[in-house]
Amino acid sequence: MKKLLALLFVVLSASSVFANEASSKKYEVRFLEKVPYGVTAWSQSELVKNARNREAHFVDYNNAAAQDLVLDATTQRDATKDTAAAARETAFYSVYNEKGWYLYIEAAEPLIDDLLDNVVDPQSPARKEGYEIFFAPGLHTVPYYQIFTRPFADATDYYDWGVSHRHYRSLKEFAKVESLPLEKGFGTFVFIPWEDVYEYLPQGEENWRFSIIRWMPYGKAGGVSWGGQVHDTGNFGFLHFQPPTAAQKTAMEKRMLRVAWFKYLATAKAAATFWDDEKLGDQEFYNSVLKPVMDEYTAQGEALGTPNDWNAVTLPKAAALRDDWMEFSYKISELRADYLRDKYFKATP
Amino acid sequence: MAIHLANTEAGKLICWTGITSDSLLKIMKTKLFLALVMSGVFLSAAQAQQAGNQRTFDTYAVPALSSIPRLPDKMPTDGRLSNQLRIVAAQGEFEPASFVIAPRADVTRLELKPTPLIGAGGQIPVGAVDIKVVKTWYQGGTAWYSYFGDSNRRELVPELLLNDETLVKVDREKQENYLRVGNEYRWISYPAEKAEKFFNYLTEPVADSKNLQPVQLVKGENKQIWVTVKVPENTPAGIYRGPIQLLADGRPAGAVNLEVRVLPFALPAPKTYYDTDKDYLVTLYATNVLEVARRLKLPQEDADRLQLAWYRNLIAHNVVNIRSDLNLSNKPDRAQAMEDVRHELRLLKQAGATMKPLLSSGRVAYVSNAESKEPSLYRQRIDDLARTLKEEVGHSDIYITSWDEAGVAHIKQMRELAEYSASKGLKLWVTTANNKHFNLAGYMMDYANHGGWPERQHAATWHAIGSKVASYAGPHSGVENPNVYRLWEGLARYKANYDGSFNYKYHSQLHLTLHEKWKQNTWNDFLGEKFRQFNLVYPTANGPIDTIAWEGFREGIDDVRYATKLKQVAAEAIATGKVEPMFTAKKALMWLELLDERTADLNGLRLEMIEQILKIQQAMEEGTP
């Protein structure tokens, strides 16, 4: 009975926590096999033509809070606001498929022609127009990511709030961001491949914390937000990833395993070249520790056959190796650390 | 000779200290040995538990410095089921190790008792083994990743290093924290609207125990233990071993066996990557107690005691270039201000801080209203400072500062003021970003503290005119992940050719004049501020309480010291002109240059630096007839 009560309490607590959070905005991210890539493709796509996919419930960024952002020494924002400035609509669309997560932002800008004309001036506020995109791939105990892109300065900054390790990778090496002017504004395309966040592949009913903040200094229109202020993850909205079908889930996992396998092969090849080098490497470490592990991993991978043919039988076997394949450079470091530590405890250096 | 047995992971008994098997057999037959076995001294936790068929808990050795938060409900995926802890450290170095206890049953009082570490070269005394429990508590939603405030969400994070875990009580159901203040617990996770008054950390009776207290284990709730060994400076190289004995509710529960490999070298003071003759300055903001203590009318004796505790804690964590309040600004009573400067210098000296160069925290290079009307007053203040320094420490090699994150108007004022201070030999450090200071006033800035993450191109800009560069806010303090500071205070800045670490800040201080109005409480992360509490330590009337982030800071600078050692021995080897040592050294330098410290496993990287140092030393020894 106590267990039942405890379970009930946990369930109620969890639902009550989420009830508060669920009062925020939520966007349904659905699986779509063929996703347009880039601003041009998105702006002309059926996805954008269908109003059901459009989310435009942005609210004004608190002006006083925006002025305080000058205290942020890591990012320069221009939150200039003239109360007479016309409102600009900001909308976004988002889908996912087996390759990754896609975001497309379409922003109305009545001064677009003028803005483009002024972009050539390095001091023009047109170059300070910007989007801050925040997301956390989950609700608790997960990292959060910040992208700041300035569509007319051709500049995107990725802020590493985590430190690279086995379970955290910078967006810099993975994300793709593109901005282009449109007839009545501009469009921004963001793609995050699953390779960057493969621990968080949509499996069931995942919710990600998410917000976009748009800064519009050119039109002196201040800022708008889809949820909360900068870094304010507790007030962000949510992306709800619609559960993939079994086939879609398999497609995602299969692709990720294939990526892991080829990444492993490339890392292993480079590692062998270095560690087995008679002048620069450490052949004792290579032969006694690293090579046996690589031989084993390679044999296990090769035994599964051609990656394109991996199936329901072979996929679980590959899945067991995914993390070490994907993060083989960290695996090598761990092996090397163990090797050196053992060596130091065997004899006095 | 002490005898230490351990249960290896493979389950084999091993003898540690070179005792022959015959001797061992004789010892094993004695009643003393049997008594000791019965008392659990020689047993691992697993062994003891298996003997009684009651495994109370498992122990997992984990990397102390890790980006993985150790939480009660998470098994350490990178841990090893083991009762063995290994540390590799240089002579004189502080080095941490850690393990996670995974309880299988409740234990009301688990006692952890370190013993001396015995080796062929002697022993590391028990006093050099410091054990703390890592306290997890609720902090803002971004706590593990960022210093930005996120009061609307609460995450359980590991942070405090405590002797007495009951100093802070955590209500997991309500997600609230309570701090023991004297004999009562006070709520310290209240929202801003519930704030009643400021919390005076200089006087409130908050005290961690002086020694490690028993910890409570709850079945299914993991607990992280943090072990720091301070290797005495004169310890001969070799292996030193000793158990940390465990008693569960008064009954022997085995031991965690601690092994320390002491390296055959000590770590040098950190030098810059680009020039091993140039000091790598390690500085932090907000390290002064005296000024706020005076405002809060703390007796001078107490203020001095706390200031010394702050300084000693900073120095033990590699912050030796302590930025102090060495200024005469804002002080109408010049004679008293000069006496204050002398007093502070004496405390710095007493604590063992580096006395040359000095760094000032105060806005020395600025003008008050009175000074702007009468420039000779400013010049007189600079003269007084230079003279006081020369009289007290024999030099005026000091970096003074001016307006923080100055705009163009203030930059232009700085240029005027710098002409006089420079003529008196005083140097200027300034917070800067985006080259605007360089373009307008780079010529008069001796030390630029650049906002944001370190990049080599920033360093190159300032080095082109012979100035030093450091950085802050990349990121500020406040993040709980210790590897953030290990990386960014350490090899990331160092390899970017920076001249030091100059971050903001040691801990959130009480504002000198607005603390009451703001109802400040350094212990509360839920006051709805834009930024979290910037705490590498938590200040108390009994000295600072360390955090795992603060240990990450120390390890970051230690990484720089290892890299400095590598570069120094490499230079020696190259200077021999002999091919083998020279090539070994250059290979090590190639490795250091090529390594990507921003994605590397920092624990592995440290061992690789050690390996490179030892290889060069060996090559030099073999090359010596």
Q: B530-542, pLDDT tens digit by residue?
A: 999 999 999 999 9
B122 pLDDT more than 70: yes
Assess contact for A279 and A343: CB atoms under 8 A: no
State the DSSP string of B76-90: -TT-EE-SEEEEEEE
Query: Which residues of chain B does CATH 2.60.40.10 include?
Result: 53-164+208-266
Helix (H, G, I), strand (E, B) or coil at B499: coil
Assess contact for B31 and B119: CB atoms under 8 A: no
- Chain B residues closer than 8 Å to A140 by CB: 155
What are the pLDDT digits (tens) for A106-116?
Answer: 999 999 999 99
Percent of residues, chain A, with pLDDT higher than 70: 93
Dihedral sign, Cα of residue A325, residue A327, residue A330, residue A334: negative
Nearest CA in chain B to A332: B604
Alpha-carbon distance values, B88 to A185, A343, B208, B496, B506 (Å)? 60, 11, 29, 27, 28
**Choice between B310 and B365, residue whose per-residue pLDDT is larger:** B310
A347 band by pLDDT with thresholds 50, 70 and 90: low
Kindly report the three-state secondary structure assignment for every residue of chain A. Answer: CHHHHHHHHHHHHHHHHHHHHHCCCEEEEEECCCCCCCHHHHHCCHHHHCHHHCECCCEECCHHHHHHHHHCCCCCCCCCECCCCCCCCEEEEEEECCCEEEEEEEEECCCHHHHHHHCCCCCCHHHHCEEEEEEECCCCCCCCEEEEEECCCCEEEEECCCCCECCECCCCCCCEEEEEEECCEEEEEEEEEHHHHHHHCCCCCCEEEEEEEEECCCCCECEEECCCCCCCHHHCEEEEECCCCHHHHHHHHHHHHHHHHHHHHHHHHHHHHHHCCCCCCCHHHHHHHHHHHHHHHHHHHHCCCCHHHCCCCHHHHHHCCHHHHHCHHHHHHHHHHHHHHHHHCCCCC
Alpha-carbon distance values, B110 to A64, B51, B61, B208, B253 (Å)? 51, 18, 18, 18, 9
Q: Which of B35-39, B238-242, B524-528 has the lowest average pLDDT?
A: B35-39
A5 pLDDT more than 70: no
The verdict on a CB contact (< 8 Å) between A341 and B88 is yes
B52 pLDDT more than 60: no
Question: What pLDDT score does A308 carry?
Answer: 84
Query: Which residues of chain B does CATH 3.20.20 include?
Result: 281-558
Which DSSP symbol is given to B364?
-
Start-to-end CA distance of chain B, whole Å, equals 38
In whole angstroms, give the CA distance from residue A327 to residue B261: 29
Mean per-residue pLDDT, B106-114: 98
Helix (H, G, I), strand (E, B) or coil at B346: helix
- Chain A residues closer than 8 Å to B526 by CB: none
The verdict on a CB contact (< 8 Å) between A280 and B487 is no
Instruction: Looking at the complex, report in whole angstroms how far the Cα of residue B187 sits from the nearest Cα belonging to chain A.
Output: 21
Q: Does the pTM exceed 0.95?
A: no
In whole angstroms, give the CA distance from residue B100 to residue B402: 47
In whole angstroms, give the CA distance from residue A93 to residue A212: 12
What are the pLDDT digits (tens) for B437-459?
Answer: 899 999 999 999 999 899 999 99
CA atoms within 13 A on the CB side of B177: 27
In whole angstroms, give the CA distance from residue B337 to residue B99: 49
Q: Which of A10, A74, A173 to mutate to test the interface with B (most CBs of B within 10 A)?
A: A74
B624 band by pLDDT with thresholds 50, 70 and 90: low
A11 pLDDT more than 90: no
Q: Which of B1-10, B199-208, B288-297 has the lowest average pLDDT?
A: B1-10
In whole angstroms, give the CA distance from residue A273 to residue B102: 41
Q: Which ranges of B61-118 would DSSP assign to H, the alpha helix? A: none
Question: What pLDDT score does B569 carry?
Answer: 98
Residues 6+ away with beta carbon under 8 Å from B314: B284, B287, B320, B322, B353, B506
Question: What pLDDT score does B367 carry?
Answer: 81
Find the length of chain B: 625
Average pLDDT, chain B: 90
Percent of residues, chain B, with pLDDT higher than 90: 80
Using the structure block, give the residue that is written with the tokens 């609207």. Answer: B193
A9 pLDDT more than 90: no
Nearest CA in chain A to B265: A349
| Bridge partners for A100 per DSSP | A193
Instruction: Return the beta strands (E) in B433-499 as ranges.
Output: 447-451, 468-472
The per-type count for chain B, helices as H runs and strands as E runs, is 17, 28
What are the pLDDT digits (tens) for B74-101?
Answer: 999 999 999 999 999 999 999 999 999 9
- Chain A residues closer than 8 Å to B152 by CB: 228, 232-235
The verdict on a CB contact (< 8 Å) between B433 and A348 is no
Question: What pLDDT score does B368 carry?
Answer: 81
Question: Closest by alpha carbon to A279, among B428, B355, B591?
Answer: B591
Q: Model ipTM? A: 0.90
Question: What pLDDT score does B179 carry?
Answer: 98
Nearest-by-Cβ selection for B473 from A74, A228, A280? A74
Question: Closest by alpha carbon to B70, among B130, B154, B136, B133?
Answer: B136
Nearest CA in chain A to B151: A234
In whole angstroms, give the CA distance from residue B44 to residue B454: 46
Mean per-residue pLDDT, B333-350: 94
Reply yes or no: is the peptide bond before residue B357 cis, omega within 30 of 0: yes
Residues 6+ away with beta carbon under 8 Å from A290: A271, A272, A275, A332, A335, A336
What are the pLDDT digits (tens) for B56-77?
Answer: 999 999 999 999 999 999 999 9
Find the length of chain A: 349
The verdict on a CB contact (< 8 Å) between B153 and A71 is no
Question: What pLDDT score does A20 carry?
Answer: 39
The torsion region of residue B530 among left (phi > 0), alpha (psi -120 to 50) and beta comes to alpha
Question: What pLDDT score does A1 carry?
Answer: 35
In whole angstroms, give the CA distance from residue A169 to residue A274: 24
Question: What pLDDT score does B330 carry?
Answer: 67
Question: What pLDDT score does B40 carry?
Answer: 36
Pick the CATH number of B53-164+208-266 from 3.40.47.10, 3.40.50.620, 3.40.50.20, 2.60.40.10: 2.60.40.10
CATH class belonging to A21-243:
mainly beta
Any idea where the domains of chain A sit in the sequence? Answer: 21-243, 247-344
Assess contact for A233 and B141: CB atoms under 8 A: yes
Question: What pLDDT score does A177 carry?
Answer: 97
Question: Closest by alpha carbon to A78, among A28, A127, A135, A8?
Answer: A127
- Chain B residues closer than 8 Å to A233 by CB: 141-142, 150, 152-153
In whole angstroms, give the CA distance from residue B3 to residue B37: 12
Question: Closest by alpha carbon to A112, among A41, A179, A42, A189?
Answer: A179
What are the pLDDT digits (tens) for A115-138?
Answer: 999 999 988 999 999 999 999 999
Percent of residues, chain B, with pLDDT higher than 70: 91
Alpha-carbon distance values, A273 to A10, A286, B3, B588, B612 (Å)? 53, 10, 45, 17, 19
Nearest-by-Cβ selection for A164 from B531, B598, B614? B598
A65 pLDDT more than 60: yes
B36 pLDDT more than 50: no
Nearest-by-Cβ selection for A349 from B264, B530, B608? B264
Question: What pLDDT score does B513 carry?
Answer: 92
Pick the CATH number of B281-558 from 3.20.20, 3.40.50, 2.60.420, 1.20.1630: 3.20.20
Nearest-by-Cβ selection for A73 from B88, B473, B590? B473
- Chain B residues closer than 8 Å to A348 by CB: 237-239, 264
- Chain B residues closer than 8 Å to A170 by CB: 599
Helix (H, G, I), strand (E, B) or coil at B66: coil
In terms of Cβ atoms closer than 10 Å to its own Cβ (0-12, 13-18, 19+), residue A300 is middle
**Choice between B404 and B277, residue whose per-residue pLDDT is larger:** B277
Question: Closest by alpha carbon to A336, among B252, B607, B395, B381?
Answer: B607
Mean per-residue pLDDT, B262-285: 98
B625 band by pLDDT with thresholds 50, 70 and 90: low
Question: What pLDDT score does B340 carry?
Answer: 92
A145 pLDDT more than 50: yes
Instruction: Looking at the complex, report in whole angstroms how far the Cα of residue B552 sits from the nearest Cα belonging to chain A.
Output: 12
